[in-house]
């Protein structure tokens, strides 16, 4: 099993190119099921998760080709199977989003209940509620969801989400694009990935209005056309490298990063005493010897502080002056990195959904274990800031969501390498 070895203490200098967003890419790939024409996605991140989604789509009949460059072409000329088995769904929650497109196009589908990171219960009730509002009949049995559209296909409907779930909003948009008439999604999630999906579906011929606000209207079509669509820049990868620079020190321009997608994070970084500023073509983050102060954060749906950057922020706060409180409100079990950070000397106590981080003078390298995708990268950040050697085990979690991580960091002067047994 691969592991990552970091010799901490090097400052980071230079440029890091930000990849397309994993979380957006996976839903855009699902959108390819909605049309018999070609969908070409550019700026596609090459990740274990996108390969996994491609594998599932291929099983359903989609021709998937990678390249040239960071392009992926998907062609669902005909859907040959509407069954997504447990083995292809359990590893990654986003695969569940094939259910709506399959029912919308083929009238029925059977998809296993999903898996994904072990960060909470993460049910799919809201996804199913959304599909029911479009007329689908849902049956659950033996770990599978079987959905059937009414005769004549899905019909536009009113979808009211009790919680602004990202996945359920996207699922509803995908299915509604191929439903008859208008659908309205109330209390929709507002993440930039939702706007990205809306742009793609609109270019495919659906009419999607209001993405980025809490009310989204989708005018469905009988058929959708192909598209070439660039995947939006990854705001979580952006946040991760920004926090790596803020924790380890240095001066780096994050090329292609979208300033407007991480405003709360930039404020927190600046409040702590490092620098984040918008520059031509990206964001510059710097810390040149300044002391870091403790800053409190609370995760919230967008535009609040992203839960997917919480672990990385905690690693940054580990050596801040004073205390910071990190409150997690999206997932109930998302502090698994805290004991691992403590192995490097961090002083963190967890009380329910609150972690109290008392800044220490320095972190010292140690062997640690990755527990989920974002937690694992927080250990890399801590390792970069620590004195001595840190070994991060179980890095397959990292490979799910970070493209060429070691290469990007090495180019900026980090001493980091991957070892395979």
Residue 261 interacts with ligand UD1 (CB under 6 A)? no
Of these, 9, 85, 107, 120, which contacts ligand UD1 (CB under 6 A)?
Answer: 120
Structure tokens at 126: 């809201």
Residue 396 interacts with ligand UD1 (CB under 6 A)? no
Residue 99 interacts with ligand UD1 (CB under 6 A)? no
Residue number, nearest CB to ligand UD1: 167
Residue 122 interacts with ligand UD1 (CB under 6 A)? yes
Q: Which of residues 323-382 bind ligand UD1 (CB under 6 A)?
A: 330-331
Shortest CA distance to 233 belongs to which of 1, 20, 6? Answer: 20
Q: Which of residues 223-252 bind ligand UD1 (CB under 6 A)?
A: none
Are the CB atoms for 167 and 93 separated by under 8 Å?
yes
Choose the binding region for ligand UD1 from 33-41, 164-172, 273-281, 348-356 (rule: CB under 6 A). 164-172
Q: Answer positive or negative: Cα dihedral of 173, 175, 178, 184.
A: negative
Shortest CA distance to 105 belongs to which of 47, 60, 38, 39? Answer: 60
Size of site (CB under 6 A) for ligand UD1: 21
Residue 126 interacts with ligand UD1 (CB under 6 A)? yes
What 3-state DSSP class applies to 38?
strand
Q: Looking at the DSSP assignment, which residues form a beta bridge with residue 5?
A: 391, 417
What 3-state DSSP class applies to 70?
coil
CA distance 314 to 246: 12
Q: How far is the CB of 372 from ligand UD1 (least distance, A)?
A: 10
Of these, 68, 69, 121, 142, which contacts ligand UD1 (CB under 6 A)?
Answer: 121
Of these, 30, 39, 94, 326, which contacts ligand UD1 (CB under 6 A)?
Answer: 94
Q: Which of residues 5-64 bind ligand UD1 (CB under 6 A)?
A: 23, 26
Residue 264 φ/ψ, nearest 5 degrees? -65, -35
Q: What distances in angstroms separate CA 245 from CA 28, 220, 238, 402, 418, one per listed residue?
A: 30, 45, 11, 16, 20
The angle subtended at Cα 175 by Cα 171 and Cα 178, nearest 5°, is 155
C-beta of 307 vs 371, nearer to ligand UD1: 307
Residue 187 interacts with ligand UD1 (CB under 6 A)? no
Q: How far is the CB of 123 from ligand UD1 (least distance, A)?
A: 4
Distance of CA 311 to the CA centre of its chain: 14
Residue 160 interacts with ligand UD1 (CB under 6 A)? no
Among 6, 56, 117, 189, the one annotated catalytic: 117
Are the CB atoms for 106 and 81 separated by under 8 Å?
no
Is 200 among the catalytic positions?
Answer: no
C-beta of 3 vs 302, nearer to ligand UD1: 302
Task: Convert residues 288-327 into a mask of x (bound to ligand UD1 by CB under 6 A) and - (unbound).
Answer: -------------------xx-------------------
Are the CB atoms for 418 and 402 separated by under 8 Å?
no
Of these, 100, 135, 157, 167, which contacts ligand UD1 (CB under 6 A)?
Answer: 167
CA distance 173 to 167: 10
Q: Write down the residue that tokens 């094939």 correspond to.
A: 98
For the chain, the distance separating the N- and C-terminal CA atoms, rounded to the nearest angstrom, is 6
Longest dimension (CA), the chain: 67
Choose the binding region for ligand UD1 from 6-14, 158-166, 270-278, 407-415 (rule: CB under 6 A). 158-166
C-beta of 6 vs 170, nearer to ligand UD1: 170
By the criterion CB under 6 A, which residues form the site for ligand UD1? 23, 26, 93-94, 120-127, 163, 165-168, 307-308, 330-331
Residues with a catalytic annotation lie at 117
């Amino acid at each position: 099993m691969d592991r990552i070895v970091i010799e901490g203490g090097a400052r980071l200098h230079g440029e890091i190119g930000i990849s397309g967003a994993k979380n957006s890419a996976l839903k855009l790939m699902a959108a390819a099921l909605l049309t018999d024409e070609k969908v070409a996605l550019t700026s596609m991140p090459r990740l274990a998760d996108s390969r996994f989604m491609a594998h599932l789509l291929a099983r359903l009949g989609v021709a998937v080709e990678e390249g040239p460059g960071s392009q992926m072409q998907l062609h669902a000329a005909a859907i040959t199977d509407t069954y997504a088995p447990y083995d292809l769904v359990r590893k990654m929650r986003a695969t569940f989003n094939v259910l709506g497109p399959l029912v919308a196009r083929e009238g029925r589908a059977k998809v296993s209940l999903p898996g994904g990171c072990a960060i909470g219960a993460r049910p799919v009730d809201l996804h199913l509620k959304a599909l029911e509002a479009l007329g689908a009949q849902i049956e659950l049995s033996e770990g599978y969801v079987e959905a059937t559209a009414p005769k004549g296909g899905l019909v536009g409907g009113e979808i009211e989400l009790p919680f602004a779930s990202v996945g359920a909003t996207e699922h509803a948009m995908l299915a509604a694009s191929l439903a008859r008439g208008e659908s309205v999604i109330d209390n929709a999630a507002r993440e930039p990935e939702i706007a990205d999906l809306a742009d793609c579906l609109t270019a495919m011929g659906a009419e999607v209005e209001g993405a980025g606000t809490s009310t989204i209207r989708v005018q469905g079509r009988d058929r959708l056309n192909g598209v070439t669509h660039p995947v939006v820049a990854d705001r979580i990868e952006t946040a991760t490298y920004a926090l790596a620079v803020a924790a380890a020190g240095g001066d780096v321009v994050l090329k292609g990063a979208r300033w407007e997608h991480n405003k709360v994070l930039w404020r927190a970084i600046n409040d702590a005493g490092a620098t984040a500023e918008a520059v031509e073509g990206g964001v510059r983050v710097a810390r040149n010897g300044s002391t870091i102060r403790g800053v409190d954060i609370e995760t919230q749906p967008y535009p609040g502080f992203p839960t997917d950057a919480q672990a990385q922020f905690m690693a940054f706060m580990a050596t801040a002056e004073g205390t910071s409180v990190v409150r997690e409100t999206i997932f109930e079990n998302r502090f698994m990195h805290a004991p691992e950070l403590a192995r490097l000397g961090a002083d963190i106590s967890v009380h329910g959904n609150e972690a109290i981080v008392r800044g220490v003078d320095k972190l010292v390298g140690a062997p640690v274990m990755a527990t989920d995708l974002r937690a694992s990268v927080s250990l890399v950040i801590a390792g970069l800031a620590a004195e001595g050697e840190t070994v991060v085990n179980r890095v397959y979690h990292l490979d799910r969501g970070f493209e060429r991580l070691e290469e990007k960091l090495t180019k900026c002067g980090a001493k980091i390498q991957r070892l395979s047994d």
